[in-house]
Amino acid sequence: MSNISLEKGKDDNAPEAGPRYKSGEVPANTMAGRVRRKLTSRTASVVSIIIAILWTIPTFGLFVSSLRPENDIKTTGWWKFFTNPSLTLDNYNEVVFGTSATSGRLASYFVNSLTITVPAVVFSVTLAAMAAYALSWLNFRGRDWIFIGVFTLQIVPLQMALIPLLQILGDYTEWGGGFFAVWFAHTCFGLPLGVFLLHNFMSELPKDLFEAARVDGAGPAMTFRRIVLPLITPALASLTIFQFLWIWNDLLVALVFTSGPDTRPLTVRLAELAGTRGNDWQRLTSGAFVSMVIPIIVFLSLQRYFVRGLLAGGVKG
Amino acid sequence: MDYDFSEDVAKIWPALLFIGGFVAVVGGLLFVLDILPRWGKGKERLHMFGFLGPALILLAIGLVYPLIRTVTLSFYNNTRGKFVGLDNYTWIVTNDDTLIMLRNTLFWVVCVPLLATAFGLIYAVLVDKARGEGIAKSLIFMPMAISLVGATIIWKFIYAFREADQEQIGLLNQILVWLGMEPQQFLTSSPSNTFYMIVMMIWIQAGFAMVILSAAIKAIPAEIVEAARLDGASPWQMFWRVTMPSIRPAVVVVTITITIATLKVFDIVRTSTNGNFKSSVLAFEMYNQAFRLSDDPNGEGRGAALAVVLFLLVVPVVVYQARQLRKRAEIR
């Protein structure tokens, strides 16, 4: 017992990162073993800290720069901020609300991004939930074949659909304020993954539930609304978050199915700024962060659901 | 602040109108289905149409028909054009620029999955059960949440170039200067620019690998770890003899998923170089041919052929992954 507590005491002084095992487990009983373990754990923590720093610095540097005055950004490195600190929100103000031709006018594109994303998510998640219900709990011939077909569509790169779909949707460019084509495309592209993910979830609901509902006189539609939907809320949340971030961050579909400043989303505008005004770092740094605000909030607050959606949707696109 | 929001607000109305219409249609559909005959064989056909129909119609218009159309289009020069047989495909494998593009794609597909998985794995093992594990993992995982365009801008800033007589604003060039070397234009010289872009993709995908592998590591049964420790296994032996064999299926799935994502990489190339400086890749070239060079009479056919090539490259990878997943399910 005393041996263990001694070990724990030592452990508390040691760097904490690196592989550690639950306290109370028997430590290696040789002196050499202990020394070696401690060295390994120190190396481990150093390596992991180095990786963490390497991974964080790029974002951190951009963030610091976005808060520096334009002249500072363009003439000195961001690390000079620490010896010569000066902060401003001017870059954000200019890139979001500036109305001159060269400024970002990102407020407008932010609205575009929302206007593209919210309806497309609503449409695809709703239709996917309905289809997944039919495929898991309604009986009809060929059900399994239809499911396999939808499942297989997941692997089709959306590049395969772009040219013909643009031709089809070319006739509807005025619909929905110009957003119809991009809503339609995102809804279609989101369906295979959505149906697959929700089918996995729904098919594992207990059969008794459905029999009980039937005995009580509920039809398939009422069972769907009253029983299935409430029970699959976690899966719906995962899918919604995944779809939301996917569409919000998308560039390719937006480039093909939107046109002009009235419908283009943030990603397209940023890519444009990076191309034509590649040295306007005061706009690029702050603009990049404007586009990241929503994903980062979603990511930090709903990380668990996001990871689950990601696990299921790794091959989308 | 004199920004006028009224125009932007006007854009929201059509969206609300469409959502409202959609909700009304779906609600009406569910209502009608509710008063139809209830359960039972044959009677469920109407319900099937109601629930499944809308999704199937959209899939038919949005994916199945385009898929077939793209395959046929790849044998024509454009959407209104003439049959050209395999010309588009021979163009892909004989043209100098497309060969460079294929070579770049190969670089991407070899480097990104291997290195992203390796970094993710190392990090997952190192921070496992460490203090502050949650925060440590969030730091690496964050790039996965932001757009590839945003990530590319982050890295373009790292690679930013100033003439040697000026002060550098890009971190990497500043490091070169500190080391006494000449600053470089990282993204404009081929073939090294491809590798500087590959770094961006590794930076993004390592977080994905790390999260999944970390979950796999945590799923290793405690008894196995305990037994190995009682036998006096060193951390090194522990990793190769216990951790690796246990998480091998997860490693395979992660590598494959990243491979597919890498094959389809588009945003990074488009935002970094716009395909200039011999940095194009398959998915970018597809877009480039089909949509940017629209005055080129062969553009659409060639774009379609490139899409088909991409499809053909993705299929075996996905089939392999599906078999791996099934194998894993059987073991469980």
Residues 279-298 of B with CB under 8 A from A: 283, 286-287, 290-291
Smallest CA-to-CA distance from A54 within B217, B270, B202 is with B202
Inter-chain touch A275–B13, beta carbons under 8 Å:
no
Instruction: Provide the pLDDT for residue A98.
Output: 80
Residues 298-327 of B with CB under 8 A from A: 300, 303-304, 306-308, 310-311, 314-315, 318, 321
Beta-carbon count within 10 A of B9 CB = 10
Tell me how many degrees the CA angle A43-A46-A52 measures, rounded to the nearest 5: 140
Instruction: Provide the pLDDT for residue B11.
Output: 83
* Cα distances (angstroms) measured from residue A283 to each of A104, A251, A272, B62: 7, 19, 12, 37
Decide if A113 touches B, using CB distance below 8 A: no
Contact A128, A103 (CB under 8 A): no
Per residue in B225-271, pLDDT (tens digit) is: 899 989 888 888 889 999 999 999 889 889 988 998 999 999 999 99
- Per CB-CB distance under 8 Å, the chain A contacts of B11 are 111-112, 115, 177, 179, 262
**Nearest-CB residue to B131 (from A16, A97, A256):** A16
Residues 100-159 of B with CB under 8 A from A: 119, 122-123, 125-132, 136, 138-150, 152-158
User: What percentage of chain A exceeds 90 in pLDDT?
Assistant: 31
If you measure CA to CA, which chain B residue comes closest to A186?
Answer: B62
Per residue in A302-317, pLDDT (tens digit) is: 877 777 666 655 555 5
Instruction: Provide the pLDDT for residue A26.
Output: 43
Crossing angle of helices A31-66 and B96-127, rounded to 10°: 130
Of residues B182 and B39, which shows the higher confidence score? Answer: B182
Contacts of A184 (CB under 8 A, 6+ apart): A169, A172, A257, B58, B62
Residues of each domain in chain A carrying CATH 1.10.3720.10? 106-312
Q: How far is A19 from chain B (nearest CA, A)?
A: 6
Instruction: Provide the pLDDT for residue A260.
Output: 84
Q: What is the CA radius of gyration of chain B?
A: 26
Label residue B178 by pLDDT band (50, 70, 90).
very high
Inter-chain touch A267–B149, beta carbons under 8 Å:
yes
Cα separation, B131 vs B148, in Å, equals 31
DSSP type of residue A25: B
- Per CB-CB distance under 8 Å, the chain A contacts of B5 are 107
Instruction: Provide the pLDDT for residue B317.
Output: 84
Q: How far is B96 from chain A (nearest CA, A)?
A: 23
Question: What's the average model confidence in pLDDT over A70-87?
Answer: 86
Of residues A123 and A87, which shows the higher confidence score? Answer: A123
Of residues A2 and B280, which shows the higher confidence score? Answer: B280
Inter-chain touch A97–B131, beta carbons under 8 Å:
no
Decide if A281 touches B, using CB distance below 8 A: yes
Instruction: Provide the pLDDT for residue B282.
Output: 93
Residues 37-76 of B with CB under 8 A from A: 38-39, 41, 44-45, 47-48, 50-52, 54-56, 58-59, 61-67, 69-70, 73
Question: What's the average model confidence in pLDDT over B48-71?
Answer: 92
- Per CB-CB distance under 8 Å, the chain A contacts of B314 are 155, 157
Instruction: Provide the pLDDT for residue A97.
Output: 85
Inter-chain touch B11–A73, beta carbons under 8 Å:
no
Decide if B243 touches A, using CB distance below 8 A: no
- CATH class label, B87-331: mainly alpha
Instruction: Provide the pLDDT for residue A219.
Output: 82
Instruction: Provide the pLDDT for residue A298.
Output: 85
Decide if B30 touches A, using CB distance below 8 A: yes
**Nearest-CB residue to B44 (from A25, A139, A274):** A139
Interface test with chain B among A55, A112, A195, by most B beta carbons within 10 Å: A55
Contact B145, A245 (CB under 8 A): yes
Instruction: Provide the pLDDT for residue B294.
Output: 60
Inter-chain touch B22–A77, beta carbons under 8 Å:
no
- Global confidence as pTM: 0.86
Interface test with chain B among A127, A183, A300, by most B beta carbons within 10 Å: A127
Per residue in B291-302, pLDDT (tens digit) is: 876 677 888 899
Decide if A159 touches B, using CB distance below 8 A: yes
Cα separation, B150 vs A267, in Å, equals 8
Cα separation, A146 vs A156, in Å, equals 16
Inter-chain touch B126–A126, beta carbons under 8 Å:
no
Q: How far is B137 from chain A (nearest CA, A)?
A: 9
Interface test with chain B among A159, A211, A310, by most B beta carbons within 10 Å: A159
Q: Which residue ranges make up each domain of chain B?
A: 6-73, 87-331
The answer to whether residue B43 scores a pLDDT higher than 80 is no
Per residue in A95-112, pLDDT (tens digit) is: 888 877 667 788 889 999
3-state helix, strand, coil split of chain B in percent (to 5) is 75, 0, 25
Label residue A3 by pLDDT band (50, 70, 90).
very low
Crossing angle of helices B65-73 and B299-331, rounded to 10°: 130
Inter-chain touch B147–A79, beta carbons under 8 Å:
no
Instruction: Provide the pLDDT for residue A32.
Output: 66
Instruction: Provide the pLDDT for residue A275.
Output: 83
Inter-chain touch A220–B44, beta carbons under 8 Å:
yes
Inter-chain touch B59–A191, beta carbons under 8 Å:
yes
The answer to whether residue A276 scores a pLDDT higher than 60 is yes
Inter-chain touch B51–A133, beta carbons under 8 Å:
yes
**Nearest-CB residue to B140 (from A55, A107, A317):** A55
The answer to whether residue B153 scores a pLDDT higher than 90 is yes
3-class SS of residue A101: coil
Largest Cα–Cα distance of chain A, in whole Å?
A: 80
Size of interface A-B (CB pairs under 8 A): 388
Instruction: Provide the pLDDT for residue B293.
Output: 65
Average pLDDT, chain B: 88
Per residue in A142-169, pLDDT (tens digit) is: 888 898 888 888 888 888 999 899 988 8
- Per CB-CB distance under 8 Å, the chain B contacts of A45 are 126, 130
Contacts of B7 (CB under 8 A, 6+ apart): A108
Cα separation, A7 vs A29, in Å, equals 11
Q: Domain A106-312, CATH 1.20.1070.10 — does that match? A: no
Decide if B224 touches A, using CB distance below 8 A: no
Instruction: Provide the pLDDT for residue A22.
Output: 43
Instruction: Provide the pLDDT for residue A24.
Output: 41
- Per CB-CB distance under 8 Å, the chain A contacts of B132 are 16-17
Residue B184: burial class (beta carbons within 10 Å; 0-12, 13-18, 19+): middle
Average pLDDT, chain A: 82
Question: What's the average model confidence in pLDDT over B159-164?
Answer: 90
Interface test with chain A among B19, B39, B177, B288, by most A beta carbons within 10 Å: B39
Per residue in B92-116, pLDDT (tens digit) is: 999 999 999 999 999 999 999 999 9
Contacts of A207 (CB under 8 A, 6+ apart): none
